[in-house]
């Protein structure tokens, strides 16, 4: 398999979001996109406060207590 063939296989498996990031790195030499692609995983454990906040947020979502992006933008005056 050639390098080009291998790249095609990889590209075919990318999500649209990842494809856009890689394209920005390759075509635009975008340092932010490169940083996003090469950033280490967040391996720090969640604090008890973070665990509690996430659980609370998931419960609110499960009960439909959410606000749309449009409503939030309007509320913030965007």
pLDDT digits (tens, 9 = 90+) for 64-77: 999 999 999 999 99
| Residue-level pLDDT at 48 | 96
Q: Is a pLDDT exceeding 90 seen at residue 54?
A: yes
SS percent in the chain: helix, strand, coil, step 5: 70, 0, 30
Domain range for 17 is: 3-76
CA 49/CA 55 separation, integer angstroms: 10
What is the pLDDT, as a whole number, of residue 37?
85
| Mean pLDDT calculated for residue range 6-14 | 93
Would you state the pLDDT for residue 2? Answer: 96
Asked if 37 and 26 count as a contact pair (C-beta separation under 8 A), the reply is no
pTM of the model as a whole: 0.45
Q: Number of folded domains in the chain?
A: 1
> Which has the closest alpha carbon to 20: 4, 32, 3?
32
Percent of the chain with pLDDT over 90: 77
């Amino acid at each position: 398999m050639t390098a080009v063939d291998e790249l095609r296989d990889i590209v075919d498996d990318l999500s649209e979001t990842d494809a856009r990031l890689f394209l920005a790195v390759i075509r635009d030499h975008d340092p932010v996109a490169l940083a996003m692609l090469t950033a280490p995983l967040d391996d720090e454990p969640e604090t008890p406060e973070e665990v509690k906040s996430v659980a609370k947020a998931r419960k609110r979502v499960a009960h439909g207590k959410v606000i749309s992006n449009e409503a939030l933008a309007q509320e913030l005056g965007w």
